A = this chain, B = another copy of it.
Amino acid sequence: MRFTSERRLDDGVDEREFTLGEIPGILWTPGSATAPTPLILLGHPGGLNAMYPRLLARARQSVAEGFAAATIELPGSGDRPRDAAAEEARADLRRAIGAGGPVDDDIVARLVLPLVERAVPEWRAVLDALLALPGIDGPVGFAGGIISVGIRLAVVEPRIAAAVLFAGSYVPRALFDDARRVTVPLQVLLQWDDEGNDRQAALDLFDALGSTEKTLHANMGGHTGVPRFAGEEADRFLARHLR
């Protein structure tokens, strides 16, 4: 892991950009931390530059709660090389959504499954590197999207102790098998009137999740309008399970 920039934000949060191989990412830590801090992995749908303001706001909240927070770019997004098959599947998905009918699972699977197969090992490699840094310690939480990556990561990565999952994307049926195998405590955030999401599919996925402690928080406000209090509840959930 190579740090490419470092700065202290005005509220005392240390922000470091890094690369691990070809994976770019950002790490936020409390500037004044003395004890090892738990770590929150901030998931997002790809496009680190565009997502940066929202990720920074979430990271600030996490650091204020005494956690470190980190995010990485998804394969094929932002400045990372595009994947031709993924781009084709993404275009097909946009067309299917635009046509207004039900979206074929094959299209979703062609886009999401290869992404999950690439992204989850990358998150795990970054996790190895982050936990080797001084001052960062387990347990580890995942918070964000895409929900298919969060689910697979929660299944295969034993260091994930709890997860906040954003129900804001299409999920292939194949991931429902993973969902049934999740056991860690979960909080699932659903924007009830999310115009870019299939509400019933999100409810079906919540139903399939195997965890005995799982909570659905559904709110108004559209795709990007997660209320501030929902973010605070997510932080309290993570604090309850990671401390």
Chain A interface residues toward B at CB < 8 A: 192, 203, 206-207, 212-220, 227, 229-230, 233, 237, 240
Q: What secondary structure prevails in chain A residues at the interface with B?
A: mixed
Q: Are B216 and A217 in contact (CB under 8 A)?
A: yes
Contact B217 A230 (CB under 8 A): no
A213 to B230, CA, bound (A): 12
What is the copy number of this chain in the assembly?
Answer: 2
Complex Cα distance, B230 from A214, in Å, reads: 11
Least CB distance from A4 to B in Å reads 40
- A214 CA to B229 CA in the complex, in Å? 12
Bound complex: CA A218 to CA B219 (Å) = 12
Cβ-defined contact, B230 with A215, below 8 A: yes
Would B220 and A218 count as touching, CB distance under 8 A? no
Q: What separation, in Å, do the CA atoms of A240 and B214 have in the docked complex? A: 24
CB-defined contacts of A217 to chain B, threshold 8 Å: 215-217
What residues of B have a CB within 8 angstroms of the CB of A230 in the complex?
215
Residues of B near A219 (CB, < 8 A) are: 214-216
Could you write out 13 A-B pairs with CB less than 8 Å apart? Answer: A192-B216, A203-B203, A206-B218, A212-B220, A213-B227, A214-B219, A214-B220, A215-B230, A216-B218, A216-B219, A218-B218, A229-B240, A233-B233
